[in-house]
Amino acid sequence: MPGGPEVKPKSLLLLALTMAAVAAFGLKYSGAAISGEGKAHEAEKKVGIEKVSKTDAEWREILTPEQYRILRKQGTERAFTGKLWDNKKEGVYRCAGCGLELFASDTKFKSGTGWPSFWDPIAVNAVGVNVDQTLGMVREEAVCNRCDGHLGHVFNDGPKPTGLRYCINSASLTFDERKDEASEKEMEKSDKK
Protein backbone atom coordinates (compact mmCIF):
# COMPACT_ATOMS: atom_id res chain seq x y z
CA MET A 1 0.00 0.00 0.00
CA PRO A 2 1.68 3.24 -1.07
CA GLY A 3 2.49 5.61 1.78
CA GLY A 4 1.04 3.31 4.44
CA PRO A 5 2.53 0.74 6.79
CA GLU A 6 3.28 -2.67 5.40
CA VAL A 7 0.73 -5.22 6.63
CA LYS A 8 1.95 -8.78 6.71
CA PRO A 9 -0.48 -11.59 5.79
CA LYS A 10 0.28 -13.34 9.10
CA SER A 11 -0.81 -10.20 11.01
CA LEU A 12 -4.05 -10.02 9.04
CA LEU A 13 -4.77 -13.68 9.74
CA LEU A 14 -4.13 -13.20 13.47
CA LEU A 15 -6.39 -10.14 13.53
CA ALA A 16 -9.15 -12.00 11.66
CA LEU A 17 -8.94 -14.99 14.01
CA THR A 18 -8.99 -12.73 17.07
CA MET A 19 -12.03 -10.84 15.82
CA ALA A 20 -13.80 -14.13 15.03
CA ALA A 21 -13.11 -15.40 18.57
CA VAL A 22 -14.37 -12.14 20.04
CA ALA A 23 -17.57 -12.41 18.00
CA ALA A 24 -18.04 -16.12 18.79
CA PHE A 25 -17.77 -15.67 22.54
CA GLY A 26 -19.57 -12.33 22.70
CA LEU A 27 -16.51 -10.66 24.19
CA LYS A 28 -16.01 -6.93 23.99
CA TYR A 29 -13.13 -5.87 21.75
CA SER A 30 -10.11 -4.36 23.39
CA GLY A 31 -6.82 -3.75 21.68
CA ALA A 32 -5.06 -3.83 25.05
CA ALA A 33 -6.75 -6.98 26.28
CA ILE A 34 -6.15 -8.86 23.05
CA SER A 35 -2.60 -7.69 22.43
CA GLY A 36 -1.23 -8.95 25.77
CA GLU A 37 1.58 -11.48 25.65
CA GLY A 38 2.26 -14.55 27.78
CA LYS A 39 -1.29 -15.84 27.88
CA ALA A 40 -0.54 -19.54 27.57
CA HIS A 41 -2.85 -20.25 30.51
CA GLU A 42 -5.93 -18.83 28.71
CA ALA A 43 -7.03 -22.28 27.54
CA GLU A 44 -7.54 -23.29 31.17
CA LYS A 45 -9.81 -20.34 31.92
CA LYS A 46 -13.61 -20.28 32.00
CA VAL A 47 -15.64 -19.64 28.87
CA GLY A 48 -19.36 -19.15 29.57
CA ILE A 49 -20.77 -16.38 31.76
CA GLU A 50 -24.49 -15.99 32.40
CA LYS A 51 -25.52 -12.31 32.48
CA VAL A 52 -27.05 -10.71 35.59
CA SER A 53 -29.54 -7.95 34.95
CA LYS A 54 -31.24 -5.84 37.63
CA THR A 55 -33.28 -2.67 37.70
CA ASP A 56 -31.75 0.53 39.00
CA ALA A 57 -33.85 0.16 42.17
CA GLU A 58 -32.58 -3.40 42.71
CA TRP A 59 -28.95 -2.26 42.34
CA ARG A 60 -29.55 0.56 44.85
CA GLU A 61 -30.99 -1.96 47.29
CA ILE A 62 -28.08 -4.42 47.21
CA LEU A 63 -25.13 -2.02 46.85
CA THR A 64 -23.78 0.56 49.26
CA PRO A 65 -24.07 4.16 48.01
CA GLU A 66 -20.33 4.15 47.16
CA GLN A 67 -20.55 0.81 45.31
CA TYR A 68 -23.60 2.05 43.40
CA ARG A 69 -21.85 5.31 42.44
CA ILE A 70 -18.84 3.42 41.10
CA LEU A 71 -20.29 0.18 39.68
CA ARG A 72 -23.48 1.60 38.16
CA LYS A 73 -22.58 5.27 37.48
CA GLN A 74 -18.91 4.85 36.41
CA GLY A 75 -17.55 6.73 39.42
CA THR A 76 -14.01 6.56 40.83
CA GLU A 77 -12.86 6.43 44.42
CA ARG A 78 -10.02 8.66 45.57
CA ALA A 79 -6.57 7.10 45.31
CA PHE A 80 -5.17 5.41 48.43
CA THR A 81 -8.59 5.35 50.16
CA GLY A 82 -10.09 2.01 49.10
CA LYS A 83 -9.95 -0.93 51.50
CA LEU A 84 -8.20 -3.26 49.00
CA TRP A 85 -5.58 -1.05 47.30
CA ASP A 86 -2.83 -2.30 49.63
CA ASN A 87 -4.21 -5.78 50.37
CA LYS A 88 -1.39 -8.35 50.36
CA LYS A 89 -3.41 -11.43 51.33
CA GLU A 90 -3.80 -14.39 48.99
CA GLY A 91 -7.22 -15.02 47.55
CA VAL A 92 -9.75 -14.05 44.90
CA TYR A 93 -11.20 -10.63 44.06
CA ARG A 94 -14.87 -10.74 43.03
CA CYS A 95 -17.29 -8.24 41.54
CA ALA A 96 -19.08 -6.46 44.40
CA GLY A 97 -22.23 -6.36 42.27
CA CYS A 98 -22.69 -9.97 41.22
CA GLY A 99 -19.91 -12.02 42.84
CA LEU A 100 -18.14 -13.07 39.63
CA GLU A 101 -14.49 -14.01 40.19
CA LEU A 102 -12.46 -11.29 38.44
CA PHE A 103 -8.83 -11.36 39.62
CA ALA A 104 -6.52 -13.67 41.58
CA SER A 105 -4.11 -12.25 44.14
CA ASP A 106 -1.14 -13.70 42.26
CA THR A 107 -1.78 -11.21 39.42
CA LYS A 108 -2.00 -8.19 41.75
CA PHE A 109 0.99 -5.86 41.80
CA LYS A 110 2.03 -2.61 43.44
CA SER A 111 1.51 0.07 40.80
CA GLY A 112 1.94 3.08 43.07
CA THR A 113 -1.36 4.51 41.80
CA GLY A 114 -3.43 4.02 44.97
CA TRP A 115 -5.87 1.56 43.42
CA PRO A 116 -5.70 -2.25 43.28
CA SER A 117 -3.82 -3.14 40.09
CA PHE A 118 -3.72 -6.49 38.30
CA TRP A 119 -1.87 -7.65 35.18
CA ASP A 120 -4.49 -10.22 34.10
CA PRO A 121 -8.10 -11.21 34.89
CA ILE A 122 -8.80 -14.61 36.42
CA ALA A 123 -10.62 -15.72 33.24
CA VAL A 124 -10.40 -14.57 29.62
CA ASN A 125 -13.99 -13.37 29.60
CA ALA A 126 -14.42 -12.25 33.23
CA VAL A 127 -13.53 -8.63 32.52
CA GLY A 128 -14.76 -6.79 29.46
CA VAL A 129 -13.34 -3.59 28.02
CA ASN A 130 -15.33 -0.66 26.60
CA VAL A 131 -14.14 2.58 25.04
CA ASP A 132 -14.48 5.42 27.58
CA GLN A 133 -14.43 8.94 26.10
CA THR A 134 -15.28 10.86 29.27
CA LEU A 135 -13.08 13.61 30.73
CA GLY A 136 -11.90 14.65 27.27
CA MET A 137 -9.75 11.58 26.70
CA VAL A 138 -10.04 8.07 25.27
CA ARG A 139 -9.46 5.26 27.76
CA GLU A 140 -10.38 1.60 28.07
CA GLU A 141 -13.02 1.00 30.75
CA ALA A 142 -12.87 -2.35 32.57
CA VAL A 143 -16.31 -3.84 33.29
CA CYS A 144 -17.61 -7.02 34.90
CA ASN A 145 -18.77 -9.24 32.05
CA ARG A 146 -21.60 -10.71 34.14
CA CYS A 147 -23.35 -7.54 35.39
CA ASP A 148 -21.65 -4.81 33.29
CA GLY A 149 -20.54 -3.05 36.47
CA HIS A 150 -17.80 -0.42 36.09
CA LEU A 151 -14.57 -1.66 37.66
CA GLY A 152 -11.96 0.87 36.56
CA HIS A 153 -9.68 1.20 33.53
CA VAL A 154 -7.05 -0.78 31.64
CA PHE A 155 -3.69 0.71 30.70
CA ASN A 156 -0.74 -0.60 28.66
CA ASP A 157 1.89 0.18 31.31
CA GLY A 158 1.71 -2.98 33.42
CA PRO A 159 4.32 -5.65 34.10
CA LYS A 160 5.11 -8.74 32.05
CA PRO A 161 3.81 -11.12 30.91
CA THR A 162 0.79 -9.10 29.67
CA GLY A 163 2.06 -5.52 29.92
CA LEU A 164 -1.42 -4.52 31.13
CA ARG A 165 -2.53 -2.69 34.28
CA TYR A 166 -6.13 -3.25 35.27
CA CYS A 167 -6.56 -0.27 37.61
CA ILE A 168 -9.64 -1.20 39.67
CA ASN A 169 -11.71 0.60 42.31
CA SER A 170 -11.75 -1.20 45.67
CA ALA A 171 -15.48 -0.45 46.00
CA SER A 172 -16.07 -2.52 42.85
CA LEU A 173 -14.55 -5.57 44.52
CA THR A 174 -15.00 -7.99 47.38
CA PHE A 175 -12.18 -10.23 48.54
CA ASP A 176 -12.22 -13.92 49.50
CA GLU A 177 -9.07 -14.79 51.39
CA ARG A 178 -7.46 -18.09 50.48
CA LYS A 179 -7.08 -20.32 53.50
CA ASP A 180 -4.17 -22.73 53.48
CA GLU A 181 -4.88 -26.45 53.94
CA ALA A 182 -3.40 -26.64 57.45
CA SER A 183 -5.63 -23.87 58.84
CA GLU A 184 -8.69 -25.34 57.09
CA LYS A 185 -8.04 -28.75 58.69
CA GLU A 186 -7.66 -27.10 62.10
CA MET A 187 -10.98 -25.30 61.60
CA GLU A 188 -12.67 -28.58 60.63
CA LYS A 189 -11.31 -30.29 63.77
CA SER A 190 -12.55 -27.48 66.03
CA ASP A 191 -15.96 -27.57 64.33
CA LYS A 192 -16.31 -31.31 65.07
CA LYS A 193 -15.62 -30.86 68.82
The answer to whether the CB of 188 falls within 8 A of the CB of 111 is no
Q: What is d(CA 124, CA 168) in angstroms, rounded to the nearest whole number?
A: 17
Reference 129, options 7, 33, 26, 6; nearest CA is 33
Could you give the dihedral angle defined by the CA atoms of residues 46, 28, 137 and 114, in that order, rounded to the nearest 10 degrees?
-10
How are strands ordered across the β-sheet holding 173-177? Answer: 101-104, 91-95, 173-177
Active-site position among 98, 144, 147, 167:
167
167 noted as active-site residue: yes
ω before 161 within 30° of 0 (cis)?
yes
Contact partners, residue 153, CB within 8 Å, separation at least 6: 132, 139, 140, 141, 142, 166, 167
The answer to whether the CB of 98 falls within 8 A of the CB of 143 is no
Single-letter amino acid, residue 63: L
* Residues recognised as catalytic: 167
